[in-house]
Amino acid sequence: MRRFALILALWPGFLAAEEFRTLTGDEILSVLTGQKLDYGEGISQTFDDTMLTQYFSGGPSAGRWAVQGDRYCSLWPPSDLWACYDVQQRDDVIRFIDDNGGTTDGTIVE
């Protein structure tokens, strides 16, 4: 019975370690700058320190990225509208959350 109680006592800490954590603006800059994210199925994205981003899905697409407040924002020509997302992280997984609650997860490529 004591083992069972110990397992239950440790369980909440285990679950908390697996949850996504919301990033601040400074953390978004730190975690994305110079990185490449893999979205699966051959789709990836790079984030240059010059604030240029390349999205690869069958071919490259160039855009710009920025951090506004505590949100990641991107601009993809020919559109002149910035789209912004909340960003969360769990280990090497980055989650982008749009204004409707939709999510996109990418894994940092080492």
pTM of the model: 0.83
Looking at residue 33, the DSSP 8-state letter turns out to be: T
| Per-residue confidence (pLDDT) for residue 46, from 0 to 100 | 98
Q: What is the pLDDT along the chain (110 residues), one digit of tens a residue?
A: 444 444 444 445 444 557 999 999 999 999 999 999 999 999 999 999 999 999 999 999 999 999 999 999 999 999 999 999 999 999 999 999 999 999 999 999 98
Exposed, middle or buried: residue 53 (CB in 10 Å: 0-12, 13-18, 19+)?
buried
CA distance 1 to 53: 55
| Per-residue confidence (pLDDT) for residue 17, from 0 to 100 | 54
Those residues whose C-beta lies under 8 Å from the C-beta of residue 37, and which sit 6 or more positions away, are 44, 45, 46, 47, 94, 106, 107, 108, 109
Omega into 77 within 30° of 0, i.e. cis? no
- Tokens 């505590």 locate to 70
| Per-residue confidence (pLDDT) for residue 22, from 0 to 100 | 98
Strand partners, 17: none
| Per-residue confidence (pLDDT) for residue 18, from 0 to 100 | 76
Looking at residue 23, the DSSP 8-state letter turns out to be: P
Strand partners, 67: 72
